[in-house]
A and B are shown apart, each in its own frame.
Chain A
Amino acid sequence: MKHDTSPSALPYGPFLGGLGVLAVLVFGASLLIGPVSISPLEGWQALGGDDTNLLTLVLQEIRFPRAILGAAVGAILGLSGAVLQGLLRNPLADPGLLGISASASLGAVIALYSGLAALHIFALPVAALTTATLAVSLIILLVGRSFDILTIILAGVALTSLAGALTSLALNLSSDPFAALEIVFWMMGSLTDRSMDHVFLSLPFIMAGGVLLFATARALDALSLGHDVATSLGINLKRTRTLAIFGTAIGVGAATAVSGAIGFVGLVVPHVLRPLVGNRPSHLLPASALGGAIFLMTTDILVRVILPGKDLKLGVMTAMVGAPFFLWLLYSLKRRAV
């Protein structure tokens, strides 16, 4: 007699394959859908072409980097959420928890406020990466001293408040209303007008962060049985924690540096996918990476379709789609339990 691993779980291999196919389809749709509508055939020709007509330009310079960033940023947010939830054994953990997103935002805001951002295209992302790195160093310092994960979270909360306060200070002191508006818009998160330069800047960091995060898979499984049993199963928890924090810092820091703060992906995506992979933390990692990519690319398409002329911000959209969906999910789970 052959059973699934748990009543609601789907067979893992095919499920992951299905998510992969869906991700590819959404990626394709993300290239074709927008103010300039492109047919699949035209798109295929334009993507490989080297002529300078409008279609080729739109596809290669605008849509392609945007789709790549949507996939990469969504994937790292979903993955990091799944890892942090597994590490903390808490379904409410989120990449924003460690203060990385807020710190990266602060760097970007400083670049915008000081006018550095206007000087060079890389000034803003580099500033964001720098502050994210500073935040991580601070966290690593704390990690070195304490074994307690709660300390790290509290440090993250403190860091988030501090970065938030400094960001508000920049807005407060900004004499230029245009700069203030730019800061506010940037903080909403967006993938509009990103170029291949942004891709080249962030993708290596996002991928490196992803590798570190995936390396925690086995340990996260063991942690289902608690801290002590995981240790007795030969898992080095200190190493696991360092991988998770570094991975999130590098990956999410780089993602925030190019996209701005995008909430809800890291929280909702692992939560939705968890029962479908039999609740196994290691199986949740690749699923959440694919799910995050699909979710973010889809919302980025919605942003373009719903209000084409208004530059609707992606971070606004993820929360507007994610939050009601999350509430519905909680409601239906509750009903099932009763």
Chain B
Amino acid sequence: MTLLSCTSLTASLGRKQVLDAVSFAVDRPQLIGLIGPNGAGKSTLLKTLAGVLDHGGDVQFRGQDHRAIPAPEKARSIAYMPQERVVHWDLACRDVVLLGRLPYRGWAGRASTEDRQATDDAMGKMDVLEFANRPFNQLSGGEQARVLLARLLAQSPALVLADEPTNGLDPAHQIGLMKTFRSLVDEGKTVILSLHDLTLAAAWCDRLLLLDHGRMTADGPPETVLQAETLRQVYGVETEWVTTSRTAAVIAVDISSSRTPRET
């Protein structure tokens, strides 16, 4: 069954329309990179899919109207991680991860053994069990990202949405994070994440969605989406593909001198 399909999806922030007739479908587990310049609508698309923002057009999740799915049920299938890594109170890391089990607990319900097990499993997987009792706010950025990702895993979703998860991480943590997402896809989950790093996107994603001014400009495997001409038009940069013994990557080398004028 098709996991997710969007047809003519629109979304607005206030009076400003941010997404315009976005259509795509996901019918098998994939690691999908959402790319595009600042303000293209990447975060808005993720929030819309997470059910945080209201939308127009048609979104089907597992054949059901996205809007008609009750919020707690949706929370058991779709997990969302925003760009900013914020925990407001000085919570211990285990309590942060345990929040991922909230959709599984009844009203005022206590955490069950199953919840605790899932929490420990998620923390083990992200290698953060040693931080279990440390305050979240005392960890480094990379450690925080892993703890928040463990929260997301504890939710055991079918669809993972992460907004620039590699932001502010060093290369080792970035690659570690992408490997984790890769392994989630191998487990049968679908992962959609927004990325600014085109090299990372090219190296790790099965499929890229390129957004520009709220429209889907390109959709396909990295090598077809990351064409020099497309990137010049959308980002206004000159890019080259570099092939090494291990991988092929796209790198931005300069700002385009003659930027193709775009419709607005």
Contacts and interface: CB of A to CB of B under 8 A. Distances in A.
Interface of A: 3-7, 9, 89, 214-215, 217-218, 221-226, 228-229, 231-236, 274-275, 278-281
Contacts, number: 98
B78 A232 contact: yes
Interface in B55-78: 70-76, 78
Interface of B: 47, 50-52, 70-76, 78-82, 84, 86-92, 94-96, 99-100, 102-103, 105, 107-108, 132-133, 135, 151, 155
A7 B80 CA distance: 29
Given A3-B132, A225-B88, 7 more contacts: A215-B108, A218-B105, A222-B99, A233-B102, A234-B74, A279-B92, A281-B89
A328 B100 CA distance: 37
B120 to A, nearest CB: 12
Nearest to A9: B92
Contact of A233 (B47, B86, B99, B107): B99
A234 B103 contact: yes
B99 A6 contact: no
SS class, residues of chain A in contact with chain B: loop
A278 B92 CA distance: 7
Contacts of B155: 233
A233 B95 contact: no
Contact of A226 (B73, B88, B132): B88
5 contacts: A6-B92, A221-B102, A234-B72, A234-B75, A278-B91
Contact of B102 (A3, A7, A222, A278): A222
A5 B50 contact: no
A275 B91 CA distance: 9
A23 to B, nearest CB: 21
Contacts of A9: 92
A4 B82 CA distance: 29
B151 A225 contact: yes
Which of A5, A7, A232, A274 has the most C-beta atoms of chain B within 10 angstroms of its own C-beta? A232
B261 to A, nearest CB: 35
